[in-house]
Amino acid sequence: MALSSIVPLAGISCDYPLNYALGFQDPASNFMYAIVDLHDRIIFFLIILLVIVAWTLISSLLNSDHMALLNHNNTIELIWTITPAGILWAIGLPSLNLLYLMDEVLDAEITVKAIGNQWYWSYEYTDYEAPIAFDSFMIDEASLEIGDQRQLEVDNSLVLPVNTSIRILVSSNDVIHSFAIPSLALKVDALPGRLNSLGLIINRPGQFYGQCSELCGANHGFMPISLKAVTIPSYINFLEANVEA
């Protein structure tokens, strides 16, 4: 089924991997903002540890005779036991909290199925009287237009509304795949015979790219994911056009 081209994309930013990029892609969901915040928190503690260890090492090298005969000190041992434990708690508790929050799927307004195949994705909208289903294949390099992303563009993108509680059910028709979109903090295994679910609220319109993140065969690198986040009126237009089709 060929999707109707009714979603206006003028002025919508694209989120995809950039050459030589070292940081995260721009977040577009609350979970992704939380992951970036957790990452910054962990880096903060690691920098503190690096400074302390570097200072201790350099101090020992420059002052080789300083406390050379010291072989036991209860205070120092207490400090280097309690301090790492405190840092682990400061890192671990927010990590566990975020993991449990990401695993919780709230009451969803929209449910979509994403099904992995060798080597393409299938999507199904089953909440409506006339279900919408289509396959999504990568566009080969010879068919790309100026501005398209190599090995990321597809013929039919998954279309979802912003500021809406969404549940994505993920499965596979053959081998193990993994549905992943970095900007939205999405990554869930697609397992044959099993439905995995994840919750999502997209904060802003855009076109977000991802890829299968589980080695699934010879063409593993050629089954990208493209998700268009649009306003609710545009989403309704998308549904109406494709139900009629």
Which pLDDT tens digit goes with each residue over 30-67? 999 999 999 999 999 899 889 988 998 888 788 766 66
Number of domains the chain is built from:
2
Would you tell me how many other CB atoms lie within 10 Å of the CB of residue 132?
A: 19
Show the tokens assigned to 217: 């065969």
Q: What percent of the chain has pLDDT over 70?
A: 91
Q: Are 119 and 200 in a shared domain?
A: yes
Considering 50, 84, 103, which residue would you say is the last residue of a domain?
103
Q: What is the pLDDT of residues 122-158, one digit of tens each?
A: 999 988 888 899 999 999 888 888 888 888 889 999 9
Q: Are 87 and 118 in a shared domain?
A: no
Q: Are 189 and 131 in a shared domain?
A: yes
| Angle between helical axes of 30-62 and 74-103 (0-180°, round to 10) | 160
Q: Is 18 within the bounds of a domain? A: no
Strand residues in 95-148 grouped as ranges (E): 110-117, 120-125, 132-136
Q: Are 86 and 118 in a shared domain?
A: no
Q: Can you give the residue range of the structural domain that contains 40?
A: 30-103
Q: Are 116 and 220 in a shared domain?
A: yes
pTM: 0.81
Q: Are 58 and 143 in a shared domain?
A: no
- Report the alpha-carbon angle 115-120-121, nearest 5: 30
More confident residue, 118 or 107: 118
Considering 48, 77, 103, which residue would you say is the last residue of a domain?
103
Q: Is 2 within the bounds of a domain? A: no
Decide: 135 and 179 in contact? Cβ < 8 Å: no
How far is residue 158 from each of residues 56, 128, 186, measured CA to CA in Å?
54, 16, 14
Q: How far apart are CA 101 and CA 36, in angstroms?
A: 15
Q: How far apart are CA 198 and CA 103, in angstroms?
A: 7
Q: Are 187 and 200 in a shared domain?
A: yes
